[in-house]
Chains A and B, each alone.
Chain A
Amino acid sequence: MADMNKMSLRVMRYNPERDDAPRMQGYDVPWDPSTSFLDALSYIKDTLDPSLSFRSSCRMAICGSCGVMINGVPKLACKTFLRDYPEGAAVEAMANFPVERDLVVDLTHFLEYIQTLKPYILGNQRRPEEGPNSQTPEQLAAFRKFSMCINCGLCYAACPQFGLNSGFLGPAALTLAQRYNLDSRDFGKAERMPHINKEKGGVWACTFVGYCSEVCPKHVDPASALQQCKVESALDFAAAVLNCTKKKEAGHGKQT
């Protein structure tokens, strides 16, 4: 390690018991072409500064724990390598989330919104003795891309609409809603639509900035899922208007 090249990293530090605001602290980290930012953060914690806090688990871009901003871009620390930043880099906590401590953010909003949209199969009456609930390849292809989400939250860090309005359900949660709405085994769309349609925080807060799809480490394309949510919501709107006029006509019929 001693003869390895060193790279200067600046890392966001915030101690809620001492600091009024986050600050940046510099560290020199040894690196070779295989060193990821997660390796670098672990090195800092193990040898330079044990007080550094960050989340991580799998080291292989599947657990979605180690999201950070690297030079202002939302990235998974385990999937991003120092070799691509020869000038050094700044590592900050994911944007648009409150900072708990150092690189650890408060994901409460994001996790609550996922729950709100019920991303699991609803209303399917099929019983185990009826055998597996099989799908055609086409039925699977309809939603497969949107099911690749690992809930890392990078799309929320990329979304200015979530940053401007933390009540917005946001890219990943709405993408999951669309993923289940597209699933031939699911019958829960009617339960999800009121949340997608709603004035405060529904899909209509999205202005298709599109950066969510750019930063997604799993190429889920949340921007596309949200556009599809908008189409669904517009159809739902039209159906509601039609139903409303029908009900009124029926009401008049009874009176006369």
Chain B
Amino acid sequence: MASKRKPYVREMDANWWKDHPFYRFYMIREGTALFAIWVSLLLMCGMADAGGILSVLSNPLIILINLVAFAAALLHAKTWFDLAPKAMNLTEAQNRLVIGGLWALTLAVSLIVLLVAFA
């Protein structure tokens, strides 16, 4: 007897992530990469042309993009620190310790940079 089976495959759209909050946040998380690349390009320009970069940075459009890039960098840091310890086989308590440690390191590094800049 011939099979009556006819499994129906629901193909995923290219925009499958749009209507689901968890997937949307995933795409935003991955999207921070665009701003990371932007920052690298800008820093590269600054290293190539020391004088020119300062006038570029005060362009209102560049300021706006850099503000978004700053927010993206913070989001990247938050999501990265939350997920990084998962690559190790840790208990919940150890997990929290690692995340706290990474934030402490970031804070320390940031203070050092500010000290170098202003002290």
B58–chain A nearest beta-carbon distance, Å: 38
Considering only CB atoms, which chain A residue lies closest to B22 in the complex? A211
Size category, A interface = 20 to 34
Residues of A within 8 A of B26 (CB): 209-211
B2-37 vs A: 1/0 string, CB under 8 Å? 001111111010001101101100100010000000
Residues of A within 8 A of B19 (CB): 72
- CB within 8 Å for A214 and B22 given contacts A99-B10, A100-B7: yes
Cβ B23 vs Cβ A16 within 8 A? no
Subset of 5 A-B contacts with CB under 8 Å: A17-B6, A99-B10, A209-B22, A209-B26, A227-B86
Residues of B within 8 A of A218 (CB): none
Size category, B interface = 20 to 34
Cβ B4 vs Cβ A16 within 8 A? yes
A17-B4, A72-B20, A98-B9 are known; give 14 further A-B pairs, CB within 8 A.
Answer: A14-B8, A21-B8, A22-B10, A96-B10, A96-B12, A98-B7, A99-B9, A160-B23, A163-B12, A210-B83, A224-B86, A227-B86, A228-B87, A228-B88
A-B contact count, CB below 8 Å? 62
- CB within 8 Å for A16 and B7 given contacts A160-B23, A208-B83: yes
- Residues on A close to B: CB < 8 A? 14, 16-17, 21-22, 72, 95-96, 98-100, 106, 141-142, 160, 163-164, 182, 207-211, 214, 221, 223-224, 227-228, 230-231
B69-96 vs A: 1/0 string, CB under 8 Å? 0000000000000010011110100000
Residues of A within 8 A of B7 (CB): 16, 98-100, 106
B90–chain A nearest beta-carbon distance, Å: 9
Residues of B within 8 A of A231 (CB): 87-88
B27–chain A nearest beta-carbon distance, Å: 10
Residue of B5, B19, B91 with most chain A CB atoms under a 10 A cut-off: B5
Residues of A within 8 A of B83 (CB): 208, 210, 227
Cα A221 to Cα B86 in complex, Å, equals 9
Residue of A21, A207, A209 with most chain B CB atoms under a 10 A cut-off: A209
Considering only CB atoms, which chain B residue lies closest to A21 in the complex? B8
Residues of B within 8 A of A163 (CB): 12, 16
Cα A38 to Cα B6 in complex, Å, equals 25
Residues of B within 8 A of A17 (CB): 4, 6
Considering only CB atoms, which chain A residue lies closest to B86 in the complex? A224
B4–chain A nearest beta-carbon distance, Å: 5
Cβ A182 vs Cβ B89 within 8 A? yes
Cα A14 to Cα B5 in complex, Å, equals 12
Cβ A230 vs Cβ B6 within 8 A? no
Residue from the list A21, A160, A230 in contact with B87, Cβ < 8 A: A230
A20–chain B nearest beta-carbon distance, Å: 8
Residues of B within 8 A of A100 (CB): 5, 7
Residues of B within 8 A of A211 (CB): 22-23, 26
Q: Across chains A and B, which 4 residue pairs bring their CB atoms closest together, nearest first?
A: A98-B7, A16-B6, A227-B87, A224-B86
Cα A78 to Cα B5 in complex, Å, equals 27
